Amino acid sequence: MPDEKKPGEVSRPAAPPQAAPKPPAGMAVTPWESELTQLLKSQFGDQISEFSIYQGQEFLVAVPEAVIPIIEFLKLEADFDYLVDVTAVDYPKREERFDLVYILYSFARNQRIRIKTRIKEGYRPLTAVDVHLTANWLEREVYDMFGIEFAGHPDMKRILMPEGWHGHPLRKDYAITQMDNEWVKENVGIESGQ
């Protein structure tokens, strides 16, 4: 709504700005301390900047170079033998544009943790395929959707979108109706899919 008032408009008291809902008690990020964090601290030192718990879910934030060593260390030393998911979140206004998120689970401990890292656009994080085979398709999907290329990945190509497609749909600057019109024209034979 534009700020300047139109002539003749009745002036009304401004509505109070809608406050974001107050988080219920106990919904704050609390520090995460356990044997596991001690072990990781002694091994990786200040490469891990944060150990936290939110809503009962444990996560840590590390520098990008340390992520694969941490995943490997956790697999060998702490039984985190199942890589649940690899995904990314796009924050276009931030200097380090992407959050890269790895979710790990340990069958022996029955514990699930998240590893997060921030990377700049164009940074090529190391692949996790050498540690967990399941990372193969998951990383291909991250590449497909966000354009993050993983270094050392055996088969770095698109997985859901067609091979010749331009653009990465889950980036925030990719509009929801946007499509690669040239690709559509060439392969589907119509002017536009919209």
Partner 1 sequence: MAQPTFLDSTELVLNMGPQHPSTHGVLRVILKLDGEKVMGTECVIGYLHRGVEKIGENRTYQMFAPYVDRMDYCAAVCNGLGYCLAVEKLLGVEAPPRAQVIRVILTELNRLSSHLVWLGTHALDIGALTPLFYVMREREDTLNILEKYCGARLTTHAFRIGGLQYDIYDGFEQEILKFCDMFPSKVDEYEELLTNNRMWVDRLTNIGVLNADDCKAYGVTGPMLRAAGVKWDIRKAMPYSGYDKYDFEIPTRTNGDTYDRYMVRVQEMRQSTRIIRQAVQDIPPGPIMAKIPKLIKPPVGEVYVSIEAAKGELGYYIVSDGSTHPYRVRVRPPSFVNLQSLDKMARGALIADVVAVIGTIDIVLGEVDR
Binding region for partner 1 (CB under 8 A): 20-24, 26-27, 29, 54-55, 57, 81-85, 87, 89-90, 101, 103, 107, 110, 112, 114, 132-134, 136-138, 141, 145, 158-162, 169-170, 174, 176
CA 24: distance to chain centroid? Answer: 26
Shorter beta-carbon distance to partner 1: residue 47 or 111? 111
Shorter beta-carbon distance to partner 1: residue 8 or 154? 154
Minimum distance of partner 1 from residue 44's CB (angstroms): 22
Minimum distance of partner 1 from residue 119's CB (angstroms): 16
Shorter beta-carbon distance to partner 1: residue 5 or 22? 22
Cα 115 from Cα 88, distance rounded (Å)? 11
Minimum distance of partner 1 from residue 133's CB (angstroms): 5
Minimum distance of partner 1 from residue 45's CB (angstroms): 26
Shorter beta-carbon distance to partner 1: residue 20 or 190? 20
Shorter beta-carbon distance to partner 1: residue 133 or 151? 133
Cα 159 from Cα 141, distance rounded (Å)? 6
Residue 137, classed as helix, strand or coil, is helix
Residues 71, 131 contacting (CB under 8 angstroms): yes
Sheet of 98-106: strand order equals: 30-31, 48-54, 57-62, 111-119, 98-106, 82-90
Cα 134 from Cα 138, distance rounded (Å)? 7
Tell me the CA distances in angstroms from 84 to 5, 38, 103, one per residue in order: 54, 23, 5
Cα 15 from Cα 12, distance rounded (Å)? 8
Minimum distance of partner 1 from residue 80's CB (angstroms): 10
